Structures are given as C-alpha cells and as structure tokens.
Amino acid sequence: MKRWRSIKNQMESEDLNSQQSTNGIGQLSTELNVNLELIKNEIGHNSDVKFREFDLGKTTVGLAIIFIDGLSDTELIQNHIMSELMSGLSSIADQEEKEKEYSLKPKMIKEYIKKQSLTVCTIKESSSSKEIITSILYGSIALIIDGSSECFLIGDGLTKSRDITEPDSEAVVRGPRIGFVESLTDNTAILRRSGKNPNLSIVGFQIGEASKKDLVIAYMSDLADPQLVKEVKQRIKRIKIDAVPDSGYIEQLIEDNYLSPFPQVQSTERPDRVMSALMEGRVAIILDGSPFALIAPVTFQMLLQSPEDYYERWIASTLIRVLRYAACFIALFGPSIYIAFISFHQGLIPTKLVFHIAATRGGVPFPPLIEALIMEVSIEVLREAGLRLPKPIGQSLGIVGGLIIGQAAVEAGIVSTIMVIVVAVTAISSFTLPQYNVGIALRMLRFVSMLFASVFGLYGVVLFFLLLCSHLVQLKSFGVPYVSPAAPLRLGDWKDFVIRAPLFMMKTRPKSLQSKKPNRMK
C-alpha cells in the first residue's frame, strides 16, 4: 500500500511538471507533499519564505502554511489561523464518530475551515501555482490542505507605512495638514474621509509585468465624463513594463506629448487638491508605494494655482495669483530681457541707469550672454546640490554658497552687480511656483529664451514667446486644451483663471471637462 502511494505521488508529480512545462501555469495537486515541493522549487531558496506543516486537530489531515517573514502578519497566523485549526474539528466531530479519521472527505474539511474555523475577513481560493506564489510574495498567507487541489490565500500582507503628516512639497499657510503616504489603502481611506460621497468610485488595476503593483483610479461617477474615464483606463491598460517604482513612471507613459517640456498630468501629495479635482469631473491615479497622486486632465493655469487660493478671501487670493503669474513671467524672461536691453536696445534704458550699468560692466570681459550663463549655471548647481544634501546642510549651502559665489564673482570682475541682481530675482521668482515640475520646465526654457535674446534682441524674446504660445495652444491633456479657458476662449471660466472671483460667482464647472453636472452651486 505504501509503495502504491509512493508510485501514485511520483506519477502526479511527473504529470504536474509536464503540465507546467507545456502551458507555463502549474495547477495544484491533491497531495500536500507534491504541492509543497512545487512551491519550494520556485521560492523555497529564499530565506524569508517560511513553511509550517501541522495537523488539523487530532486528525491525520495534513495542513501547511507558507508566508513571508516580515511581510505577513504573524499575529494573524498565530491567533486566527494555527490556533483555530490545531484545536480540532469540534463542529463535525459528532458526525464523523462512526467513520475513521482518515476517511474524512476533503470537501467537508475545506468547507469547515473556510466557514467555521478561519476568523479572518480576506480569503481567496486558487488552484494556480503562479497566482499562489505571486500572492505569497506580495504578503498573503497560503494555506494548503492535504486532499484538496485548491489553496486558501489569506490576508493582503502587513504594510508598515509612515505617519500621515503635512506634505513638504506643497506647504500652505491655511488649509488641511494632511498628505498622502506610500500605502495605497491609507491613501484611498484618506480620500473616503475627505468627502463622504457614495459616488466616489475607486477602480483597481495591477501594473508591472515582472514586479506587480496595485494601482487605482478615482473619479466621481456622477460628474466625470465617461469618455475621459474610459481613456484613462485604456492608457493604463496599455502600459507594459517590468516594474513601476513611482507614479512618475505612470505620468510619463500616459502623457499626450512626450516632447513637450510642460507636464500634462498634475502630481500632488495633497488629498484636498485631489478631491477638488474630482469634484470638477477630473480623474485621479494613485499607485501603491508612491505618495504622489496624479490628476488628469490638467491645464496650465492649474499648475500655477495653490489650494490656499480658495481658502482665503477672493481679493487676497486674486492678488497672490496675479503676483504668481508675474513671477512666472520673470522666471522665464528675466535674464533674456536684460541681455536684449544691454546688447541691442541701450536707448530704451534711462540715461542715469545706463551710466551706472556701464560703470559696473567696465571690467567684465564677457558679453552679457556668457555672463548670464555663468551665473545661471552656478545657481542651478547650487539649487541641485541643496536638494541632494541633508536639509540642514542643504539650506546652509544654498544661502552661504549664493552669497559667497556672487560676491566673489563681482569682486573678480567676472560678472556685473546688476547681473547678480537679475539672476537672484529670477531664482526667487521661480520658487513662487506651486508645482516643482513647472519650475523645471521654465528653467529649461529660460536658457532657450536667453539664446534668442542674444541673437535678435527684444525681437527674439517676442519670437520665442510666440513660438511658446503656439506650442501651448496645440498641446492637450487627455483631449482637453492645455491653455483652456484662454484658447479656446471661454469667458465663463475666467472667473477662476488669472483672477479668483468670489465663491458664490463660480457656480459652474469648467466647460472643457464636459461634466455630467455642469452646475456645482444652486
């Protein structure tokens, strides 16, 4: 009899291996030893993969659990799985008194374990070895029963996330002090708490061919345009990549024009910004392991707005927003306008200022373009060094380094005093932009604008501005014009454009989103 069982086990193992080699997806056997051997061959060499075999109560029914040490919840395993299963078959013992222990039906054992023994919420059944191994590596606990070809996958893994704090990249004076974290479940829970709305739909996906991650898209089912939601889902499904470490990968793979320097998807750590976008009819994308959510579609004016614009009264918010637009213009065209005036249009400068500039530039051996490039490159190097160093050192380096390099460059006669002022004002203006990636785009375009100004003067600045406007007019984000409501012109949406009108006047949602409910205020 024992020889027959060993031959039978060997035959089932050979059949399982042949099936795995033919279709690439192995199915579990009814023999516990065969299933354990199958899984050990795949992931048993990992030191953090733990195997634990035991019997069901006082019976001879063999069980085994497989889990990842440190990723699976050991308290769940000890208190809600092993302690319950090793206590015995209390509910069906009376029914089986007349039968021998080895004659217990596997189906009856399986149903008892599922419905009366396991005191856990998340249970999934699977017979695919590939799915089981993937779930184990993701943190689930696999429970294999001798005599059953299906395995129980218990739990979703033990996630250790940092505390929910205020986001550093989008600080506000007035507003919620809460930001997203790396845990997807925490982020979706934050969204649910941000607005108790039954129409908030959260649809899950798995992304990554080699290393899978969970991803969700969130939208208001009663507001969002169905075509927009469909387009977002299609672009996510088309992503075929081995791994996605951060949502920045998603942003680059779903954008409309990869050649444009401007971001076509907005990234944010603030749940209040995401909820505001959802209430307008937009779609949010959240990836497990990343604290940055993505908002689509996006317009250029959204990237220059801060959530604080809506928390303060409309007069103060309008003034701050106008200053922000002016700072955006200075960050892009400040050095180029200086180069154009100094090189080509000295007659447009007041006489006294011309004499002063000429006196400061008397010992400078470089033309204005080279002078500006030296200072701009130095500022960019200091900015990058300050970001990469620890915070206390980085702040000291930015302040002390800027002062020392600027003063030393002026005393050495490499640059003029007025150039140091222009570059400093330009750098400060770029810091006023709420979105970091917009600042990067303007910093890149600033150098192109300087080249145009050094060749054609103010005509070059105007020419570059026209080329930039033509690019922005053609650019779209998920079918929505990037510079809406300026082009196409929608005067009704100008209440939340350069100025911020009183809240009682902003009764409609942006027309470009084609929301199901255009009105948001009665």
Last residue of a domain, one of 260, 275, 298: 298
Q: What confidence tier does 135 reach under pLDDT thresholds 50, 70, 90?
A: confident
Task: Give the Cα separation of 176 and 490 in Å (integer).
Answer: 31
Whether a cis peptide bond, with omega within 30° of 0, leads into 350 is: no
User: Do both 6 and 89 map to the same domain?
Assistant: yes
Domain presence at residue 167: no
Contacts with 400 (C-beta within 8 Å, 6 or more apart), sequence order: none
Q: Are 175 and 311 in contact (CB under 8 A)?
A: yes
Per-residue pLDDT for 462 more than 90?
yes
Task: Give the Cα separation of 328 and 446 in Å (integer).
Answer: 11
Domain presence at residue 114: yes
User: Do both 150 and 24 map to the same domain?
Assistant: yes
Burial class (CB in 10 A: 0-12, 13-18, 19+), 21: exposed
Domain presence at residue 407: yes
Q: What confidence tier does 399 reach under pLDDT thresholds 50, 70, 90?
A: low
Domain presence at residue 110: yes
Say which residue the tokens 């080895």 belong to: 102
Per-residue pLDDT for 22 more than 60?
no
Domain presence at residue 478: yes
Per-residue pLDDT for 20 more than 60?
no
Domain presence at residue 502: no
User: Do both 147 and 251 map to the same domain?
Assistant: no
pLDDT for 18 equals 43
Contacts with 506 (C-beta within 8 Å, 6 or more apart), sequence order: 495, 496, 520, 521
User: Do both 445 and 390 map to the same domain?
Assistant: yes
Rounded mean pLDDT, 365-373: 88
The SS3 of residue 12 is helix
- Give the DSSP H or E segment for 37: helix 32-43
Last residue of a domain, one of 114, 139, 154: 154
Q: Kindly state the tokens that stand for 20.
A: 């795995």
Number of H helices, E strands in the chain: 18, 12
Q: Kindly state the tokens that stand for 184.
A: 């997807």
Between residues 458 and 26, the one the model is more confident about: 458
User: Do both 314 and 293 map to the same domain?
Assistant: no
Q: Are 255 and 313 in contact (CB under 8 A)?
A: no
Q: Are 232 and 415 in contact (CB under 8 A)?
A: no
pLDDT for 291 equals 93
Please give the tally of structural domains in the chain.
Answer: 3
Rounded mean pLDDT, 67-71: 86
Q: Are 132 and 28 in contact (CB under 8 A)?
A: yes
Q: Are 357 and 418 in contact (CB under 8 A)?
A: yes
Rounded mean pLDDT, 121-142: 87
User: Do both 294 and 323 map to the same domain?
Assistant: no
Q: Which stretch of 38-52, 54-68, 90-104, 349-363 has the lowest confidence by average pLDDT? A: 90-104
Last residue of a domain, one of 298, 322, 339: 298
Task: Give the Cα separation of 31 and 26 in Å (integer).
Answer: 14
Per-residue pLDDT for 2 more than 70?
no
Domain presence at residue 513: no
User: Do both 350 and 473 map to the same domain?
Assistant: yes
Per-residue pLDDT for 7 more than 60?
no
Rounded mean pLDDT, 294-298: 94
Rounded mean pLDDT, 9-21: 45
pLDDT tens sequence across 304-350: 998 889 999 999 999 999 999 999 999 999 999 999 999 898 888 88
pLDDT for 102 equals 41
Q: Which stretch of 112-121, 172-181, 336-345, 487-496 has the lowest confidence by average pLDDT? A: 112-121
Q: Which stretch of 74-83, 208-217, 393-402, 450-459 has the lowest confidence by average pLDDT? A: 393-402
- Give the DSSP H or E segment for 55: strand 49-55
User: Do both 320 and 293 map to the same domain?
Assistant: no
Per-residue pLDDT for 162 more than 80?
no
What percent of the chain has pLDDT above 70? 88
Which DSSP string do the residues of 391-449 spell out, in sequence order?
Answer: HHHHHHHHHHHHHHHHHHHHHTTSS-HHHHHHHHHHHHHHTT-S-HHHHHHHHHHHHHH
Rounded mean pLDDT, 172-190: 88
205: which strand partners?
A: 215
What percent of the chain has pLDDT above 90? 36
User: Do both 248 and 325 map to the same domain?
Assistant: no
Between residues 131 and 163, the one the model is more confident about: 131
- Give the DSSP H or E segment for 236: helix 226-237
Q: What confidence tier does 417 reach under pLDDT thresholds 50, 70, 90?
A: confident
Rounded mean pLDDT, 201-207: 92
What is the average pLDDT score of the chain? 84
Say which residue the tokens 């390099």 belong to: 405
pLDDT for 403 equals 67
User: Do both 451 and 346 map to the same domain?
Assistant: yes
User: Do both 379 and 486 map to the same domain?
Assistant: yes
Query: How many angstroms separate the Cα of 317 from the Cα of each of 55, 269, 338?
Result: 69, 21, 30
Domain presence at residue 126: yes
pLDDT tens sequence across 465-501: 999 999 999 999 998 999 989 888 888 888 888 889 8
User: Do both 13 and 144 map to the same domain?
Assistant: yes
Q: What confidence tier does 400 reach under pLDDT thresholds 50, 70, 90?
A: low
Taking each helix axis from N to C end, the angle separating 391-411 and 368-388, rounded to the nearest 10 degrees, works out to 160
Q: Which domain holds residue 488?
A: 310-495
